[in-house]
Structure 1
């Protein structure tokens, strides 16, 4: 049975033109796994978000756009090319939203003769709006167009020793010699998403994230974020007081996971943290949320409020170290046909 690999990332507009950004946002924000409240999705999206936000987002994308295209797409393509050079099975890419699509990625692998595909959602932590929607969409496309194709998924790797070691090494390599705080900024989600993905009905936000062997941990984004932070902190041998965690990119007025990154950055200097480093472990590829929201807007807000130095630590992107662990996991799949 010939096997292949499909790397799936979030996606990006085709260009920085407002019409392309609007098309991308419509697909992204119409996903019921992203905006899960019918009223918000169907009324506010069309009356308030899509008429105004695309123009603003287009300006933001222009600030970070590369000559080759969207940083997220370019970095995913580079990752695919490096991984392909190390494997003897085909590697394709697909985006959950935008182009190239998941269907295009599966079509490419099928045309190359693949009968089994190892799907790697490029999200370390599990969330309804990331891992879950990728799995659901991939299976939906399989049932509609590729019934005979066998699909396996890489599970969330937020606590996998390979990932923790690679992330810790990347941070250490970019960490300033002297800093007051290392901030782990994760993409935020509404609190209600935590309860919706809790199949054990045992989750209490803020009360059970650090309990051992809690069955809700398998699908709890908040727990998995804090676990990643703690494991990396231990790997770096940093004292707890030097490390903090926050959540960015909230949308709307409903409660999202706290503390919020923008408020945290604004308050750091007032609390004596004037030299900081920031990393975004919910992303493996740099994108709008890291390059513009954190490295530009976050830095500006921090310095404006009295901060002195701000170091943004890049995502793993197409680093050789990240390619190596993906190669290892893919070879395990090829040899055992089991995910790690």
Structure 2
């Protein structure tokens, strides 16, 4: 069987213009695994409210971070793809869950090259129904409808893979060399608390009480909160961060339902009010810099910190196309090419 690889990231509007942002937000927010309410309610919320109010503001945010080459997320993902392609003989395609670079196009590109078996790599370290799961479900639906003879295997969440932790830790350490910081904040993309409970395969473990994530359970395989906290713990251990000199928070909440806490913006505000003068912030839920890291964290976060009296605010870039990260992905791909994905 000829094998190939499909890298899948979140996606981006085609441009930072309101009409393109509105189209992108419509597809993104109408996903039942992003806003997981009945269709009638989701339609009312998204098409009746959000798409009539948010696109203009979101477009302004995208314009702040847009590069001459295009969307940072797309450009970075393409750089990653090209670097990986140089380290493997397998064809490597790139797709996005939302937007014009569809998963169907990515699979079609591989099929056109004779690929019969695909290694699908969701570019998310942690499992979440709004990220990994929606990619896997859509890919399977597309396979069934358009490519019934194609076989797809996926890379499981790699949040606790020691090689990944080493690469992430090295990247953080390298970017913080010579920088002043009293506290390191690990900020992850937030999800509603109900997402955590919905994916509890034990139906009884997840209480979101500060204890369950530290108690061994089969639920952790699909628990986003546990996996985020575990990344923080493992990286802090690797970098010898002292207790109290680092913490975890969650960003980008939407609506009024309870989301994972503490919230990043309020944490930055609190740290500033407590007299902290220098801090660094890391965003390990993303492997590629995007709107949430470049605008929400690097711009809005810094503004909040300065308003609260802080002075030094250091944003650590995502792994992007870092050579160590490229090498690790290429290693996983080449291992898969000659064995089962469980050995990655």
The yes-or-no answer on 1:208 pairing with 2:212 is yes
Query: Within 5 Å, which residues of 2 pair with 1:163-312?
Result: 163-175=164-176, 176-201=178-203, 202-206=205-209, 207-212=211-216, 214-312=217-315
**Alignment partner of 2:323 out of 320, 323, 326:** 320
Structure 1, residues 22-54: CA drift from partner, whole Å, max 9, x if none? 000000000000000125411121121001100
> Hey, what's the Cα distance between the residues in 1 that align with 2:308 and 2:118?
49
> Hey, what's the Cα distance between the residues in 2 that align with 1:76 and 1:170?
17
Deviation of 1:271 (Å): 1.8
> Hey, what's the Cα distance between the residues in 1 that align with 2:340 and 2:206?
32
SS across alignment from 2:212:
coil
What is the match of residue 34 of structure 2? 34
Deviation of 1:338 (Å): 2.2
What is the match of residue 9 of structure 2? 9
SS across alignment from 2:254:
coil
Deviation of 1:177 (Å): 4.2
Q: What TM-score does the superposition give when structure 1 sets the normalisation length?
A: 0.98
Deviation of 1:272 (Å): 2.9
For structure 2, which runs of at least 5 residues remain unmatched after alignment? none
Query: Within 5 Å, which residues of 2 pair with 1:138-153?
Result: 138-153=139-154
Structure 1, residues 33-86: CA drift from partner, whole Å, max 9, x if none? 000012541112112100110010000000000011000000000000000011
Q: What TM-score does the superposition give when structure 2 sets the normalisation length?
A: 0.97
Aligned length: 339
Deviation of 1:238 (Å): 0.9
Higher mean displacement: 241-250 or 203-212: 203-212
> Hey, what's the Cα distance between the residues in 1 that align with 2:16 and 2:193?
31
Is contact 2:180–2:312 with CA below 8 Å preserved after alignment? no
Structure 1, residues 228-251: CA drift from partner, whole Å, max 9, x if none? 000000000111211111000000
Moved >4 Å (runs of 4+): none
SS across alignment from 1:198:
coil
Structure 1, residues 142-200: CA drift from partner, whole Å, max 9, x if none? 00001101100000000001110000000001115431100000000000000011111
Higher mean displacement: 187-196 or 33-42: 33-42
Structure 1, residues 199-230: CA drift from partner, whole Å, max 9, x if none? 11121112310113x11100000000000000
Query: Within 5 Å, which residues of 2 pair with 1:15-94?
Result: 15-38=15-38, 40-94=41-95
CA RMSD between the two structures: 0.9
Higher mean displacement: 263-272 or 50-59: 263-272
